[in-house]
Amino acid sequence: MLKGKTALVTGSTSGIGLGIAEALAKAGANLVLNGFGDSVAPLAQVRAHGIQAVHHGADISRVADIEDMMNTATSTFGRVDILVNNAGIQHVASVEDFPVERWDAVIAINLTSAFHTTRLALPAMRAANWGRIINIASVHGLVGSAQKSAYVAAKHGLVGLTKVTALETATTGVTCNAICPGWVLTPLVQKQVDAKASALGLSNEDAIRQLLGEKEPSMQFTTPAELGELAVFMCSPAGNNVRGVAWNMDGGWAAQ
């Protein structure tokens, strides 16, 4: 279905981004991966689906890096057809104790980077009259949780950016939507499980049960593969008029 299209997924060396990249590769899209750490295994994982893929190690808290990544994508594949703004970080602290440097980093990586990739990707998408921008927000783009001020602010901001981008492209073949996962067991969340286990003297399993029980009625993690299938649907012809939604996949979290 996506053969001949090019997708760029930020933060796709791990977790949700890698799951989404793999689902897009399975659907036939060529890929630009981004993110820190090992890129050899993620590249092999997506290339196994018979597509072409490159990795760019941009630190997306830096505008110059983002510009270089977008230029590399264009010079390698001609155009970015599908942009998935996924990279994100978390920091947990109360507002009055929140380190200023961590606030700036969370906003830069989780929100401002999506403004830059979007503004740089849109002209070619408009010219082709086809494009998909998918912002990986969070259930924290819809509701708050204590101790997560920067993350909740960034994710609410990302849902806002999604709506405005969708409105500005509403009469074109470009769509923009957000996906709002609840808990997904990735390295980002395992850190929070570890913190809970050590603070409360719990086993890994008990810490996971407690984490899910506080917020997620299904008591199940959403998986990167499930999120990948939702992204593929948004890229499909059936997704042509899905515009500006913040689609939660959260085990009932935001329904409470």
Would you please indicate which residues are annotated as catalytic (active-site) residues?
Answer: 151
Q: Which of 5, 7, 26, 34 binds ligand NAD (CB under 6 A)?
A: 34
The reply on whether position 16 binds ligand NAD by CB under 6 A is yes
Asked if 148 and 140 count as a contact pair (C-beta separation under 8 A), the reply is yes
Q: Which of residues 165-184 bind ligand NAD (CB under 6 A)?
A: 181, 183-184
Structure tokens, 18: 């890698």
Residue 48 near residue 64, CB atoms below 8 Å: no
- Binding span for ligand NAD by CB under 6 A among 9-17, 24-32, 74-82, 117-125: 9-17
Name the residue nearer to ligand NAD (CB basis): 14 or 175.
Answer: 14
Selected from 24, 31, 88, 114, the binder of ligand NAD by CB under 6 A is: 88
List Cα–Cα distances, 137 to 5, 89, 124, in angstroms.
Answer: 23, 11, 24
Q: Single out the residue of 158, 202, 203 nearest to residue 181, CA to CA.
A: 158
Binding flag, residue 73, ligand NAD (CB under 6 A): no
Q: If binding is defined by CB under 6 A, does position 89 make contact with ligand NAD?
A: yes
CA–CA dist 87, 9 (Å, integer): 8
Token code pair at residue 206: 């008990």
Residues touching ligand NAD, count (CB under 6 A) = 30
d(CA 65, CA 67): 5
**Interacting residues with ligand NAD (CB under 6 A):** 10-17, 34-37, 59-61, 86-89, 109-110, 136, 138, 181, 183-184, 186-189
